Amino acid sequence: MDLSQHAGGIIVDVIWSMANRRAQVEADWFEKAPPLRVRDETLYLIPPEELLWCKIYVFQRDHCDWTDVINLIYAVGPQLDWDVVLRRLGRDVPLLRSILTLFSWLTPSRAAELPDSLIERMGLEREAFIAPREEEQRIRLLDTRAWFAALQPRDKVLEV
């Protein structure tokens, strides 16, 4: 479940379980949680592998978190502990294969940096290099709004 609160442009999500009950917050999330200092407060972040695992299941008609997953893979995909993700997904690995197929089509240059073992295990093929302009055109085919962090200046807000 998600209790989102917002004030003054700040959103705080309190999450303890996904709506589908597939993923739940677990104690080891806190053991692996990297700290972040914000306004003299130490906050602990959800490990990216766990965030991916939770968000991959949010694919509804009126709300889909796959844009978040694509941005997460773009940002830290080469560094993720994919064994953790695969273990979490279990029999639901086809979901990951689907999103990695989409990710590889959107941005083959970044997908080329994902581990070979992951690409092989998912049965994916690496696409030949395409021009950055063509990657941008592919990304814009899915949504003309500023949803993909890789195309946005750091001082601009993503449109969600």
List, run by run, the mean pLDDT of 10-residue segments along the chain (160 residues): 58 68 76 84 87 89 90 95 95 96 93 95 87 89 84 73
pTM of the model: 0.81
pLDDT digits (tens, 9 = 90+) for 86-118: 999 999 999 999 999 999 999 999 999 999 999
d(CA 138, CA 128): 15
pLDDT at 6: 58
**Alpha-carbon distances of 119 from 86, 100, 104, 114, rounded to whole Å:** 12, 9, 10, 7
pLDDT at 103: 95
* Residue whose C-alpha is closest to residue 135's, from 101, 118, 110: 110
pLDDT at 1: 45
